[in-house]
Amino acid sequence: MPVPQSPAEWHRLAAELHYATGHFIHGEHVATRGGRFTVVNPATAEPLCEVAAGDATDIDAAVASGRRAFREGTWRRMAPRDRLEVLNRLAALIEKHTARFTLLDSLCMGKPVRDMVSVDVPQSALTFRYFAELSDKVEGTVTATAVDAFHYTLREPLGVVGCITPWNYPLMQIAWKIAPALAAGNSVVLKPAEQAPLSALLLAELFIEAGAPPGVLNVINGYGADAGAPLALHNDVAKISFTGSTVTGKKMLVYAGQSNMKRVSLECGGKSPQIFLDDLEDMDRAVTYAINGIFGVMGEVCSAGSRLLVDKRIAQEFTARFIERGQHAYVAGDPLDPETNMGPLVTKKQHERVLGYIAAGRAEGAKLEFGGDVPDRPGYYVNPALFTNVDNRMTIAQEEIFGPVAALIEVDGLQDALRIANDTIYGLAGSVWTSNLRSAHAAVRGLEAGTTYVNCFDHGDPTSPFLGHKQSGQGGDKCLEGLLSYTQTKSAWIHLGS
C-alpha cells in the first residue's frame, strides 16, 4: 500500500481501512467475551470504533498462551540467528504497512500523518532491526575459578513479560518494549493504551506473518484498572515493562510487591528543563529547539522541554525571538493533511486538563505571551502557549502538563539554572546551550536527569539509552542494556576435581 501524498488520498484510505478491534491471543484475533469501549477521533470529536474491553479472564488466557509458548520453547530455543530473521522480516512488514500504521495511530490520537511517516513508523522498524541484530550477541562469561572447577554464567530470557504502554507514540513505545523482550527470547503480553489500541493488533498479526510461533506475542485491550492491573498483578508474569504517568508507575511497584515480586521497569513523566546560557553560540538555533522541544507533537512528549531556563542577560532577546516565531510555528490542522504540523490533544479529558493548567498559570501570576486559546474548529485543539514571569514554584513549572505550554524562567548563570532545573520530582531529560566546554560538562554532571543534551535536544538512536532518574522512572529503554534487562543471569558451577 503506497503512502498517500495528499489529504484526499489519506481520507480515501481512511474510509476504506479495515482493522481488528478485539484481542490477539495465541496467534489469532479473538473477539471479546465482555464489553467494549469507544475510541473517539480527537480531530473530529466523533466516535471512531468500539474496542474490546479486556479483563482478568482475558489476561489469564493471554498469559497462559505466552507461558505455553515459552515452555514449549519454539521461540526462546530458536537459534538466535533465526529469531533475528523473523524480527527483521517484521521490520520490513512495518515499513510495507507504513500507511496503515500511520492511519491507525493518527485516527486514534490525532498525530499528524507527517510525524507518523517521518518518525514513528521508521523509528519502530529501526528499533526491531536494532534488537534483531543484538539477538545473537547476548553472551555469558567464564569466570576465574581454580583449576578443579569450571564456572560460567549465561543470560536467559525471563519468561512472560507484560508490557503496558501509553498513547503518545503508540506504535513506537510498543516497539521500544517488545523488540528487546522478543529478541531476548521472552513471550510478551501487551496491554496498549486504551486511547490508541489499534496498531498493536496489526503488529501482532504481522509478527505471525513474519514467521513467529503463536503465543509469543499476545495483545489484550482494555482500561488500565481492568486489564493493565491484572497483568501487573499476575503471578506468571516475570516482568512488567511500563511506560506512562508517574502515578500509574508507582502502582506497578505496589502490584509487584503484592504478587510475585516481578521485575519492574518504569518510564514515567517529566518536566524537562532546557538551560540557555548567555554564551550560547547560535540563538536562532537554540530558539528553534526551544519551540520544537515543547510545541512538537502537541507537547504530548514525556521528555518535552517544558521549562525554558534562560539566562537573564539574554532573556529579553530570547523571549522576543521565541514570541516572533513560536506563535506561528505550529498551526492547528487536519492530521490527515501532510502539511499539518499540529493535531488535536488526545482526548476531551486531556483538553480540559491542559486548559486548566493554562488558567492556573494566569491565576498564579505568570504572563501569557501568546496562545492557550482554542481554535475555531471541531476536535480537541489548543493553540501553543508561552508563559513568561514564571517562578519554578508555580503549578505550571512543577506539574507535567503534557500539552503545548512553555514556561520561561529567568536564571542567573549556570549554578542558579541547575538549582532550578533540579527543583522537581522528575528527572527525565535536560539540556544546556553553551559554547563553553566546562559549562557543558558541569551541566551534564549537574542535571538530575537520565537523558542529557548539549546544544541540542531530543536527539536519539536505538544505540543510546532513554531513561529517567528520580520519579521519571527506573530501568530504561533501547540500547544493549535495554535488551539485557529482559534477561536474567544463571550461574553454572562444574566440578572438575576428583
Residues near ligand NAD, by CB under 6 A: 164-168, 173, 191, 193-194, 223-225, 228-229, 232, 243-245, 248, 251, 267-270, 302, 400, 402, 428, 468, 472-473
Could you give the strand order of the β-sheet that contains 367-370, starting from the edge strand earlier in sequence? 367-370, 385-388, 405-411, 307-311, 273-276, 429-433, 451-454
Q: Which is nearer to ligand NAD, 99 or 220 (by Cβ)?
A: 220
Give the Cα separation of 170 and 167 in Å (integer). Answer: 5
Q: Which is nearer to ligand NAD, 225 or 320 (by Cβ)?
A: 225
CB of 304 to ligand NAD, least distance (A): 8
374-386: b (≥16 Cβ within 10 Å) or e = eeeeebbbbbbbb
Give the Cα separation of 278 and 34 in Å (integer). Answer: 60
Spatial contact of 401 and 424, defined as CB atoms under 8 Å apart? no
Q: Which is nearer to ligand NAD, 350 or 487 (by Cβ)?
A: 350
CB of 293 to ligand NAD, least distance (A): 14
Among 94, 144, 147, 148, residue whose Cα is nearest residue 123: 94
Residues forming beta bridges with residue 429, ordered by sequence position:
451
Query: Which residues touch 160 (CB under 8 Å, ≥6 apart)?
Result: 63, 66, 67, 70, 186, 187, 188, 189, 236, 237, 238
Q: Which is nearer to ligand NAD, 214 or 270 (by Cβ)?
A: 270
CB of 66 to ligand NAD, least distance (A): 17
Q: Which is nearer to ligand NAD, 334 or 400 (by Cβ)?
A: 400
Our answer to whether residue 267 is catalytic in this structure is yes
CB of 99 to ligand NAD, least distance (A): 24
- How many CB atoms lie under 10 A from the CB of residue 326? 25
Give the Cα separation of 165 and 235 in Å (integer). Answer: 20
- State which amino acid sits at residue 194: E
Q: Which is nearer to ligand NAD, 234 or 251 (by Cβ)?
A: 251
- State which amino acid sits at residue 247: V
* Cell numbers at 98, concatenated: 507504513
User: Which DSSP string do the residues of 416-432 spell out, in sequence order?
Assistant: HHHHHHT-SSEESEEEE
Our answer to whether residue 49 is catalytic in this structure is no
Query: Which residues touch 360 (CB under 8 Å, ≥6 apart)?
Result: 394, 395, 396
CB of 469 to ligand NAD, least distance (A): 11
Give the Cα separation of 220 and 174 in Å (integer). Answer: 13
CB of 164 to ligand NAD, least distance (A): 5
Q: Which is nearer to ligand NAD, 187 or 350 (by Cβ)?
A: 350
Catalytic residue, from 267, 300, 400, 410: name it.
267
Spatial contact of 211 and 86, defined as CB atoms under 8 Å apart? yes
Query: Which residues touch 8 (CB under 8 Å, ≥6 apart)?
Result: none
Instruction: In the chain, count H helices and then E strands.
Output: 17, 22
CB of 240 to ligand NAD, least distance (A): 8
CB of 279 to ligand NAD, least distance (A): 31
Q: Which is nearer to ligand NAD, 179 or 268 (by Cβ)?
A: 268
The phi and psi torsions of 391 (rounded to 5 degrees) equal -105, 140
CB of 270 to ligand NAD, least distance (A): 5
Grid-cell match 498564579, residue found: 364
Catalytic residue, from 302, 369, 400, 479: name it.
302
Spatial contact of 250 and 405, defined as CB atoms under 8 Å apart? no
> Angle at CA 222, nearest 5°, toward 221 and 225?
135
Q: Which is nearer to ligand NAD, 120 or 267 (by Cβ)?
A: 267
Query: Which residues touch 432 (CB under 8 Å, ≥6 apart)?
Result: 274, 275, 277, 414, 417, 439, 440, 443, 444, 447, 452, 453, 454, 455
For the annotated catalytic residues, the residue numbers are 267, 302
